[in-house]
Amino acid sequence: MYPWLVFIHIAGVLAFTLAHGASVSVMFAIRSERSRPRIRTLLALSGASMTGFYVSIAVLLAGGVLAGFIGNWWRMLWIWLSLGLFVAIMAAMFPLARSYFRRVSHAVETR
């Protein structure tokens, strides 16, 4: 069972990377784009990737946490540091990304 949970965890990491990469690519493309319809399309693409983004986070966390229990890793410092770092980065990045995309969306819709 443990190898399968590690596999699920790694699959979640790969899916997270793909979904997050789509959003980051949109962010960089928007910076140089001047056409409002194209910016709206890019924002829609980023929004469409969010479902995969959150599902992949759930998969990677579930796989990692369950593998941590089965592998008896919770007594080790590295798993706590990894989980804490993940939560801290998510807590910091969520409001930053959300406010950026909301500002861009608002600017495109109001002009």
| Average pLDDT for the chain | 92
Task: Supply 106's token pair.
Answer: 């608002």
pLDDT > 90 fraction of the chain, expressed in percent and rounded: 64
Reported as a single tens digit per residue, the pLDDT across 30-46 is 989 888 889 999 999 88
- What is the pTM (predicted TM-score) of this model? 0.79
Mean pLDDT, range 79-92, rounded to an integer:
95
> CA dihedral in degrees (1, 18, 93, 9; nearest 10)?
0
Mean pLDDT confidence for 89-95: 92
pLDDT above 70: residue 106: yes
| pLDDT reading at 111 higher than 80 | no
Alpha-carbon gap, residue 1 to 71, rounded angstroms: 10
Q: Which residue from 6, 98, 5 is spatially nearest to 53, judged by alpha carbons?
A: 98
**pLDDT, tens digit, for every residue of 48-68?**
888 999 999 999 999 999 999
pLDDT of residue 98 exceeding 90, the answer is no
Report pLDDT for 105: 87
